[in-house]
Structure formats: structure tokens, C-alpha cells
A and B are shown apart, each in its own frame.
Chain A
Amino acid sequence: MPEKKWMPRWFYQLASPKWCYQITGKLLPIFAWLALLCLGVGIVWALAFAPPDYQQGNSFRIMYLHVPAAILAQSCYMLMAIAGAIGLIWKMKVADMAAFAAAPIGASMAVLALATGAIWGKPTWGSWWVWDARLTSMLILLFLYLGVMALYAAMENPNTAAKAASILSLVGLVNIPIIKYSVEWWNTLHQPATFKLTEKPAMPVEMWLPLLIMVIGFYCFFAVSLMMRLRNEILRREKRASWVRELIVSQ
């Protein structure tokens, strides 16, 4: 098929469950160590050495969990939707499996972001929960994750389930810009972003550096859990393939 040459080679290699299983097996320990290192350093630095805020005192430190969890909940949704789209368009099985693997991780990140946000909101704003645009759209994100997971659970044929869930997650993608810009469009109680790609962060280095490390650590942790779930899923769905049998026999 000559018309397919415009995609890079690794893209097609990824489509092979076997190749994907092998490469994630090599990458997994690297990311696991990175995650351990970043989260360890980040937590100790954030909780013990970063200076307290001039207004919020020590309670602002929950940011070091809240912000990475919230960022990850959104990027995980993006990943799920994009993987789903790839699965729909190129009929790539591994992409379907990755979308399936991502859903519960994203949902738990959304729960973590909402829970830490509530704990942070009480001392700062004076309320556990406010029905403003940012919080509501984040809650909708959690519901979308739960809907996608329910759809996976309801369908017995994994291929049909993957296609259906991909369509649903693509539809739900409209929520992501709403979450991102809700603090700018409406006058929400939630603060605008402290980190912006285009500007200097609105906090000193000794505060944002541990945050950055935590964000990287969360991403590495996400990669690790995604790869672990993906490898499981590959083995489960490819259980009839000869290479899986050989793998199991050899162990």
C-alpha cells in the first residue's frame, strides 16, 4: 500500500501488539525509576523545604498534589480521545487498548483533583465546594470518564466497545477547552493559572520548581500505570496469538 508511506515507521510498529509489548517492557523500568525519583524529591521539597505562602501559610502546599492531578486528569482525557480517534481511523488495536487503559487512571486523577481542591477550598475560600464554572466543568470531566468506563463495561465485544467509547470520548472533548478557559471567561472563584507557557510563573523559583518536579513525576507515574495496564490488556486480548503463548511458556 504505497499511499500509507507518509506516516513514520514507528507509528506502524506501534500498531503491532507484540512490538508494543516489548518496547513498553523496556521503557517501564526507566519511567518507574523516574517517577519514584521525581515524586520522592518533589514531595520532600514541597512539604519540607518550599517556603510557606505569605497569605495562605502552609495550606497552599496541597497545591503540589492538586495542580499535577488536575493537569493530568485533562491530558489523560486528551490522550484517551486521541488514541480513540487513531483506533477509529486507522483501526489500530493498540490505540484502542491504550484508550481503555487510560480511562480509569484519568478518572482517579479527576477524583484526586476534586478532593484536594475541596480540602484546599475550605481554608482558603471558606467553602468546600462552590458551583462555579471551573469546579463544575471538572466534575463533568469525571462524569465523562465514568460514562466511558460504563460503556466499556457494558459491551462484551472489546472491538465494538472500543469504537463506541472512542466516539463518546471524542464528543466529550468539547469539555476540555471549557475547563481550561472557564477561569478566564467567567468570573470564577478559582484562581487563574499560576503557570503559563508564555509568561513567567507568578511565584518564586523555590516554589515553582518543586511543583514542576511533581508535575513531571505525576506524568511519569501516569506513563508507568498506563503501560502496566496496556501490557495486561495486550496479553488478555492477544491470548490466542502464538507469541503470547511462547512468552507464557518461557516464564
Chain B
Amino acid sequence: MVEETNIATISMSQQFSAALKRDLLLSFRRKSDLFNPLIFFLMVATLFPLGVSPEPTFLADVAPGVVWVAALLATLLSLDGMFRSDYDDGTLEQMLLSPQPLMIVCLAKTLAHWMTTGLPLTLMSPLLGVMLFLPSDAMLGLVLSLLIGTPTLSFIGAIGAALTVGLKKGGILISLLVLPLYIPVLIFGSGAVQAAVAGLPIGGYLALLGAGLALGFVLAPLATSAAVRVSVSG
């Protein structure tokens, strides 16, 4: 009886920070998980000058879209691992059985995913901008749009990852489920960078990305935890 009340008194913030710390620690122990999306990001951006045209004016024109598409694909690539190992070793089941709301764990996991993929991608994006001759005035727009946009990608992606974690071949299916929902983020994200290139105000685009983030923040953990429940019990 005493033990039970002890468990129940762990507050939501304690639970959140414990789950976040655990996930961050795990990904820092497995360095490949941390670096693979970054290397992928860099490689995809390299394909365009080599595959399409190395001409600086052309590259500057397509740079906003290319960097955003590359960031989106890199995020997509890392989604499958979000719940996979916890599902395989039964940790996810234990989390589901714990008396604390599953939503908090999902929120923490999503945030950890963003901190290990979206945030590094954002920090690395100026390098890609330079590689693709993006005007330096637009760098701030690029970083800001990715900073607001990539968490939304993690939130939407978490839903897809949770839905497919019970399947052996979740990889392609995740893309099918998640990409349609990524399209608006891509449109407003690359739109912000294009506006920054043209010297136009980017406030409207960032506001729309922010609206997506706010919606993702409150709704995605709900959907993710429901999806985890379905995947684990099904």
C-alpha cells in the first residue's frame, strides 16, 4: 500500500524528465543513431549539385526546397527507431502498465527524438546552405524555419512510428502514413526560406509553422499514446 502511493506521487514533470533523460542517454550511447540522419542529410544535399546542375544561380534558386526536403527525409529515416527497441525488449509494455499517463512518455520520447535529429539538422543547415549557394541573408530564415518546423515533423512522425511499431516491415509504411501530413510543413518551411531569399517578410510563414507546432504539441502525444496502446496490445 505504501509502495503504491509512492509510485503515484511521482509527478508528471518528474516522469517527463526521467523519460527524456533515459532516451537522450540511450541515443548518446548509440552514436550511429545520432549521426546517421546527419550524414544522410549531407549526402542528399550533395546529390543535387552533382545530379542536376552545379551552377550557383540555379542552386541558390532550389536551395530552400532541397535543404527542406533533405531535412524531411532525414527525419523520416530516423522515425522507425523511435519506439522500435523499446517495443522489442518489452519496455514499452512496462510503460503502458505504469500508473502515469502514457502521453507524458510519448511527449518525452518525441522531444528526445527532436533533440537528437531535428535540432542537429537545424544546426547543420547553414553548412548545406553554403554548399548550395544560398544567399547569406537567407540563412537566418533557413535556421528559424527549421527550428520551428522540425519539432512538428517529430510530432507527426511519432504518430506514424507508434502506429507501425508492431509490424515487422514498418519502414515504407511509415513514409506512406506520414508524408501526406508532412507536405504542409514542407510548403510553409521552404516558403519561409524562399521569402527570405527574396527579401520579403517571413513572419507569416513562421506563424503558420508555429501554429502547426502548437497543434502538434497538444494533439500528437494524444494520438501517439493511443497508437502505442493499439500496437502493443494488438
Asked if chains A and B are in direct contact (CB within 8 A), the reply is: yes
A residues engaging B (CB < 8 A)?
A: 88, 136, 140, 143-144, 146-147, 150-151, 154-155, 157, 159-160, 163-164, 167-168, 170-172, 174-175, 178
Contact mask for chain B residues 210-234; partner A; CB cutoff 8 A; 1 contact, 0 none: 0000010001000100110011001
**Pairwise interchain contact A154-B230, C-beta atoms closer than 8 A:** no
**Pairwise interchain contact B177-A147, C-beta atoms closer than 8 A:** yes
Determine which residue in B156, B163, B166, B223 has the highest number of CB atoms from chain A within 10 A of its CB, and name it: B163
**Pairwise interchain contact B187-A172, C-beta atoms closer than 8 A:** no
Q: Does B70 contact A (CB under 8 A)?
A: no
Q: Does B207 contact A (CB under 8 A)?
A: no
B229 to chain A, nearest CB (A): 8
Q: Which of B104-155 contact A (CB under 8 A)?
A: none
B130 to chain A, nearest CB (A): 28
Determine the distance from Cα of A136 to Cα of B188 in the docked complex, in whole angstroms. 13
Majority SS of interface residues in chain A?
Answer: helix
The 29 sampled A-B contact pairs (Cβ below 8 Å) are: A88-B226, A136-B183, A136-B187, A140-B180, A140-B183, A143-B179, A147-B177, A147-B180, A150-B173, A151-B164, A151-B173, A154-B167, A154-B169, A155-B167, A157-B234, A159-B234, A160-B230, A160-B231, A163-B234, A164-B230, A164-B231, A164-B234, A167-B227, A168-B163, A168-B177, A171-B159, A171-B219, A172-B180, A175-B180
Q: Which B residue sits closest to A143, measured CB to CB?
A: B180
With a cutoff of 8 Å between Cβ atoms, the chain A residues found around residue B187 in the complex are 136
Q: Which of B172-191 contact A (CB under 8 A)?
A: 173, 176-177, 179-181, 183-184, 187
With a cutoff of 8 Å between Cβ atoms, the chain B residues found around residue A171 in the complex are 156, 159, 181, 219, 223
- One of B156, B173, B176, B223 near A170 (C-beta < 8 A): B223
**Pairwise interchain contact A147-B183, C-beta atoms closer than 8 A:** no
With a cutoff of 8 Å between Cβ atoms, the chain B residues found around residue A170 in the complex are 223
With a cutoff of 8 Å between Cβ atoms, the chain A residues found around residue B173 in the complex are 150-151, 154
With a cutoff of 8 Å between Cβ atoms, the chain B residues found around residue A167 in the complex are 159, 163, 223, 226-227, 230
**Pairwise interchain contact A174-B166, C-beta atoms closer than 8 A:** no
With a cutoff of 8 Å between Cβ atoms, the chain A residues found around residue B166 in the complex are 155, 160
B49 to chain A, nearest CB (A): 25
With a cutoff of 8 Å between Cβ atoms, the chain B residues found around residue A159 in the complex are 234
Determine which residue in B177, B179, B184, B215 has the highest number of CB atoms from chain A within 10 A of its CB, and name it: B177
Determine which residue in B156, B176, B183 has the highest number of CB atoms from chain A within 10 A of its CB, and name it: B176
Q: Which A residue sits closest to B159, measured CB to CB?
A: A171
Q: Which A residue sits closest to B170, measured CB to CB?
A: A154
Determine the distance from Cα of A88 to Cα of B159 in the docked complex, in whole angstroms. 16
- Supposing A146-B176, A151-B173, A170-B223 touch, asked if A163 and B230 sit within 8 A by C-beta, the answer is yes
With a cutoff of 8 Å between Cβ atoms, the chain B residues found around residue A151 in the complex are 163-164, 173, 177
**Pairwise interchain contact A160-B234, C-beta atoms closer than 8 A:** yes
Known: A146-B176, A167-B230. 17 other contacts (CB 8 A): A136-B183, A140-B180, A143-B183, A147-B180, A154-B167, A155-B167, A157-B234, A160-B166, A160-B231, A164-B230, A164-B234, A167-B223, A167-B226, A167-B227, A168-B177, A171-B159, A175-B180
With a cutoff of 8 Å between Cβ atoms, the chain A residues found around residue B223 in the complex are 167, 170-171
Q: Which A residue sits closest to B177, measured CB to CB?
A: A147
Determine the distance from Cα of A172 to Cα of B181 in the docked complex, in whole angstroms. 7
